[in-house]
Structure 1
Amino acid sequence: MAQVVERISARELAVILKDPAKRNEIRIVDVRDDDFRGGHIRGAINLPEDNFQDDDDVDNIVEEFKNVPTVVFHCMMSQVRGPFCAKRFQSRVDVVLEGAETKPQVRILTGGFNLFGRVRTQD
């Protein structure tokens, strides 16, 4: 049975990204399309939602991130695209890495890039 994908707050992510030791243990996946170029979280990887339709494509992404402790997904507001991609990734982690000692923790950024940008400007 697939695990529920938990959320991470914008503030919690901002704190992690300020800590060089913790920053290396997390990957941020921005699933927006062209709007990624208009601004994004520093260090985020742009993998638009289209990359999460086919199992083989998602399996390749799982292989790429299999040794990353935490993978955070987001879109502009993390209401549709971000959660969809996070759940697809999690479902394939359960298949591709079945029996593995460690698996990435999958998170969805609450409020997406929109809220993260507001939190960062308040700090």
Structure 2
Amino acid sequence: MAELPSYVRILRDGAGVQFDPGVLASEMERGLAKMRVSQSRVVVQVAATLYFRTRKDSLSFEDWYFNTIKRIGWFNWRDKRSGTVRSVRFKGGDIGNLEPLSAGFGHSKRSVTLEYLR
């Protein structure tokens, strides 16, 4: 399986983890709603900022995105929070805008959302 390239750094800016709990609620006439688990596995979404140190790194990442994972493929990513390697993909195949951090895209970043099944 493909891996997130080693030249891609993940910044803490805008980082976060959220998931849909997969719970159905039935409203009651009185009192609290009754709830039940509707999904055995839930989709976890991880907001991340990918950082590229050089223009070449950002171009290489695009090559990896289009040719290796073919925009929608799964790849291995080391989750720093849990210390495990997870099989993830980009939500909706979207890698966001490439934003320059210095002149000529010498340094740049992309805001992405990774997703996996828990």
Normalised-by-shorter TM-score class: under 0.3
Structure whose residues are more often helix by fraction: 1
In our comparison, the structure showing a higher alpha carbon Rg is: 2
Question: TM-score normalized by structure 2?
Answer: 0.26
